[in-house]
Amino acid sequence: MSISTLCLLLDQSSLLEGLKSHHVLQSLKVEGNPVMAESHILRAISSVLPTLCSIDGSSVTPKRSLQPTEFQRMCKKQLTACNHLQNAFLKALR
């Protein structure tokens, strides 16, 4: 999934406040934004986006990797089981 938002931010607090609600964001483009002139901004961005892997196309090491939730693991198992049953059923029809 990709979400793009064009926004020109002039101060660090506006940028960081806006990013907090996107805590699972993995890629960010901020090139050309005046706030990027502040020397410590990349460290601040990394602190509010622990899963960030890329800023302006350059790799960064995420502080936390995305792990599937228990619900997501359960859904994946159910889909796999359903696919196996469907394949067995179709094979039996042949």
Tell me the residue length of the chain: 94
Q: What is the pLDDT of residues 55-77, one digit of tens each?
A: 888 887 766 655 667 877 888 89
Assess whether 45 and 79 both reside in one domain.
no
Q: Which residues are within 8 A (CB) of 8 and not within 5 positions of it... i.e. 6 or more apart? A: 33, 34
Residue 3: its H or E element: none
Assess whether 51 and 77 both reside in one domain.
no
* Residue ranges of E strands in the chain: 27-28, 54-55, 58-59
In a domain, 3, yes or no: no
Assess whether 55 and 72 both reside in one domain.
no
Assess whether 54 and 78 both reside in one domain.
no
Assess whether 53 and 74 both reside in one domain.
no
Q: What is the pLDDT of residues 25-51, one digit of tens each?
A: 888 887 887 777 777 777 888 788 888
Domain count, the chain: 2
**3-class DSSP state of 62:** coil
In which domain, by residue range, is 51 found? Answer: 12-59
Find the DSSP H helices in 39-69. Answer: 41-48
Assess whether 16 and 36 both reside in one domain.
yes
Query: Full-prediction pTM beyond 0.85?
Result: no
Q: Which residues are within 8 A (CB) of 57 and not within 5 positions of it... i.e. 6 or more apart? A: 29
Assess whether 23 and 39 both reside in one domain.
yes
In a domain, 2, yes or no: no
